[in-house]
Amino acid sequence: MTIGFIGLGHMGGPMAANLVKAGHAVNGFDLSQPLLDEASSKGVTACDSLAEAVAGVDTVITMLPAGKHVLSVWQELLVMVPSGTLLIDCSTIDIDSARMAHDLAAGKGCPSLDAPVSGGTGGAAAGTLTFMIGGEQAVFSKSQPVFEAMGKRIIHCGDATAGQAAKICNNMILGISMIAVGEAFVLGEKLGLSHQALYDVASVSSGQCWSLTTYCPVPGPVPTSPANNDYKPGFAGALMLKDLKLSQEAAQSAGAITPLGAKAAELYTLFNELGNADKDFSGIIDMLRQKSGGTA
Ligand code: NAD
């Protein structure tokens, strides 16, 4: 396939490189020249403009910071591409913007998918991302080779915006569960329980969850978790807060009651305000410990 890839940042850069590895011809565009140079060294054709990047392609992928960027880029490029061009947005964005993006594409006769990812920068580099996809079944089926080049698990979640819905619901669970696991370790410390003992029990009991067994927020029990590396991300506190805010916006507009999601958003707001935006989100345990009068 011939693909225009817009947004070559932490995620988009390695994703575009994996498309090249899989044999696709990829035109890349980003506002940052160093990122264009980096992509070019991986076989992406670096383009000087959006127009150049989307000229003659059959598919356009966007990987941008937020809904406003996606809408502005899609508005601009839809004037340039012929109808029938497939548009895929892999960014994590709010549901309303995702809906508007699908509507813009449909207005031009272009099929579209929302396809946010999980797996972080490691998954983007290794080509092992999970894709959560919203859009028509036929469009999804046709676009499989594109996703297979960048990911390992590719899940069609339903119609337009279902991918974004799955992403923010999953990350709301993640934010809440990381706080729960952190609270349990801090309480355990106060009760004289070792980290390892709590891990050994909870990891085979009903407290078991990904935040505990893959991403354990204390050093030791899971040697690969960011806690063993001074909470270097991983998944930064700023990104967790972004996703929790998106889930709260969605909950409000859909009329869902999500009190723990709201509390998690509040606690991650504080975590970010305390200067932890660049730290892994599991570092929130230090904030909980300090609030309990302990030291990290
Ligand atoms: P990033 O900031 O590194 O990359 C975004 C890129 O978009 C930047 O390089 C920026 O220059 C470019 N850009 C912005 N406006 C543009 C425009 N008009 N034209 C061309 N390029 C433009 O962000 P990232 O970490 O790669 O994340 C991208 C998306 O993926 C976000 O929506 C994020 O929430 C989501 N995401 C990130 C991670 C992660 O671990 N980083 C994990 C899952 C999902």
- Mean pLDDT over 5-29 rounds to 97
Q: What is the mean pLDDT of the chain?
A: 97
Q: Write down the pTM of the prediction.
A: 0.95
**Same-fold call for 2-160 versus 165-291:** no
Residue 234, preceding bond cis, omega within 30 degrees? yes
Q: Looking at this protein, which amino acid is placed at residue 294?
A: G
Q: What share of the chain has pLDDT > 70, as a percent?
A: 99
- Catalytic residues, by residue number, are 167
Atom 4, ligand 1: residue with shortest CA distance:
9
Buried b (16+ CB within 10 A) or exposed e, 215-224: bbbbeebbee
Q: Give dist(CA 99, CA 161) in Å, integer.
A: 6
Q: Which of the four pLDDT bands, split at 50, 70 and 90, describes residue 120?
A: confident
Q: How many CA atoms lie within 13 A of 99 on its CB side?
A: 5
**Closest ligand 1 atom to the C-alpha of 120?**
40
* Residue having the nearest C-alpha atom to atom 13 of ligand 1: 7
The dihedral built from the CA positions of residue 172, 177, 183 and 185, taken in this order, carries a sign that is negative
Domain range summary for the chain, segments of one domain joined by +: 2-160, 165-291
Provide mean pLDDT across the span 13-26.
98
Write the DSSP string, 53-90.
HHTT-SEEEE--SSHHHHHHHHHHHHTTSPTT-EEEE-
List residues near ligand 1 (CB under 6 A). 6-12, 29-32, 35, 63-65, 69, 73, 91-92, 117-118, 120-121, 235, 239, 242
Q: Given a cut of 80, is residue 296 above it in pLDDT?
A: no
Residue range 166-172: average pLDDT?
97
Burial class (CB in 10 A: 0-12, 13-18, 19+), 158: middle
Token pair of 30 as six digits: 């980003």
pLDDT at residue 194 in the model: 98
Please give the number of the atom of ligand 1 that sits closest to the Cα of 35.
9
Query: Residue 240 gets which letter from DSSP?
Result: H
Closest atom of ligand 1 to CA, residue 118: 43
**Do 105 and 139 contact (CB within 8 A), yes or no?**
no
Distance from the alpha carbon of residue 189 to the mean position of ligand 1, in angstroms: 38
CA 139 to ligand 1 centroid distance, Å: 24
State the pLDDT confidence band at 47, using cuts at 50, 70 and 90. Answer: very high
Which among 5, 27, 63, 88 is the best mutation to test ligand 1's pocket, defined by most ligand atoms within 8 Å of the CB? 63
Looking at residues 245-254, what average pLDDT do you find?
97
- Residue 37, judged by CB atoms within 10 A of its CB (0-12, 13-18, 19+), counts as exposed
**Residue 56: CB partners within 8 Å, gap ≥ 6?**
2
Phi, psi of 159 (to 5 degrees): -75, -175
Residue type, 1: M
CATH number of 165-291: 1.10.1040.10
**Average pLDDT rounded to a whole number, residues 195-224:** 97
The yes or no reply on domain 2-160 and CATH 3.30.70.890 is no
Could you identify the residue written with the tokens 């999500």? 258
151 and 18 in contact (C-beta within 8 Å)? no
**DSSP assignment string, 240-276:** HHHHHHHHHHHHHHHT---HHHHHHHHHHHHHIIIII
